[in-house]
Amino acid sequence: MTVIAFLGAGSVVFTRELLADILSFDELRGVTLALHDIDPERLETAGLIARRTAEQLGATPEITTSLDRRRALDGADFVINSIQVGMYEATVRDFEIPAKYGLRQTIADTLGVGGIFRALRTFPVLDGIAADMLELCPDAWLLNYTNPMAMNVAYLAATAPDLRVAGLCHSVFWTVHDLADLLEVPLDEVDYTGAGVNHQAWLLRLEHRGESLYPRLDEKLEGYPQLRRRVRMDMYKRLGYFPTETSEHSSEYVPWYLHHDDEIARLRIPVGDYLGISADNVTEYHETRRALLAGEPLDLTREATEYAPQVIHSMVTGERRRIHANVPNRGLISNLPEGYAVEVPCVVDRLGLRPERVGALPPQCAALNRSFVSVGQLTVQAALTGDARMVRQAAMVDPNTAATLTVDQIWELCDELTAAHGELIPAALR
């Protein structure tokens, strides 16, 4: 029987969606679901969600819950990782402290000082997960959803090279989904290839029945001036390839927008947006728990299936799929650094997940990606070597941070964030 372990199962909204997708596959309706979280109440809520979801879908999984990670991992075939180290309180610190220095962020979970310090909080937990998996389920696949995606996958590639890891993110799919809707073409008739790094990949091909959709997108942008008032539409018009992450995300990975008031207004950039999203997630958690305890049914309607259930289904049944995933760059993108995590098309079936070689990105896209990658490489090296200066150096080369703060301010900010996060940061870097 297939065993699927959930780490961070207390992320109940995401867990609910994944469970609904998994148990909707006929071949997976009898799997074992091993749920783990470090918060007893959230773990209990995750167990309630799993049982209610199975009941509503008429599925018969075996469901276990445990505060002990090793117990959840023992014998697993697949491990879905969606942990958030430090939870909402750490996210608030990642926004409020930089804001005192005048540094603007929108999401702060991928790059910039927010991404750097989220990575440093997460790496020690990844060490424990990798060690436990290599002992208790060495053949299992770790399907990682935790951000910062590229840094986490690159760190695991360096510290646990024998671990089977794929970083999964829905940004490429939903970008194509939304463009198909905008351009009024059926999604299932659109062919596409995305490549780059997570949250800054590029649609190298976007075609409908063999014809590029880019000319149609150009016409749409000419006809609707308000549509041009978005960051990634602006980036597309200037770079020639559409970025695969939202405008909110994209704005903080480049030096061009967030430190200009007029650009924030022109492109309608929601500074600090993730704080509101995170607060809403906390509210939704409490509402979901209330509904479960009241015996109310869950809303299990889904517009599309998440990647992890598709990956699991393909590896179990042999049904071949092509998705986009994050894996170490082993000759996959020739003009990005070897070994760092890249996002590329991958084929998935019973033999596992196999990335496709893309070759060279367009030079302007690779140039932006390399500045993105440099931040992650220095952050990973800081953790590997225990060199606290590299944390500051990572922030110094971050495009948005460098465009906003002096080097003295960057060092002071990193000092303050390190102190604020305390024991969540590796001891050597405090």
Q: What is the 3-state secondary structure (H, E, C) of 271-340?
A: CCHHHHHHHHHHHHHHHHHHHHHCCCCCCCCCCCCCHHHHHHHHHHHCCCEEEEEEEECCCCECCCCCCC
Helix (H) or strand (E) holding 326: strand 321-328
Partner residues linked to 168 by β-bridges = 325
3-state class percentages of the chain: helix first, strand second, coil last, to nearest 5:
55, 15, 30
Q: Please state, as a whole number, how many other Cβ atoms lie within 10 Å of the Cβ of residue 79.
A: 28
Q: What is the phi/psi pair of residue 340, to 5°?
A: -75, 160
Quick check: is 313 catalytic? no
* 32-36/3-7 β-pairing: parallel
Alpha helices of 79-230 — where are they, by DSSP H?
Answer: 87-100, 112-136, 149-159, 171-183, 214-223
* 242-243/352-355 β-pairing: unpaired
Instruction: Give the integer Cα–Cα distance in Å for 373 and 424.
Output: 24
Confirm if 125 and 350 have CB atoms less than 8 A apart: no
Instruction: Give the integer Cα–Cα distance in Å for 242 and 415.
Output: 37
Q: Among all chains, which residue has been given the structure tokens 């596959």?
A: 25
Give me 215's structure tokens. Answer: 């000319």
Bond into 255 cis (ω within 30): no
Residues present in the chain in total: 430
Query: Across 22-120, where does the E strand assignment appear?
Result: 32-36, 62-66, 78-81
Confirm if 41 and 49 have CB atoms less than 8 A apart: no
* 321-328/341-349 β-pairing: antiparallel
Q: Please state, as a whole number, how many other Cβ atoms lie within 10 Å of the Cβ of residue 32.
A: 16
Give me 77's structure tokens. Answer: 């075939």
Confirm if 368 and 254 have CB atoms less than 8 A apart: yes
| Of 170, 177, 208, 260, catalytic | 170
Q: What is the phi/psi pair of residue 66, to 5°?
A: -155, 140
Instruction: Give the integer Cα–Cα distance in Å for 35 and 68.
Output: 10
* 190-197/242-243 β-pairing: unpaired
Catalytic residues: 170
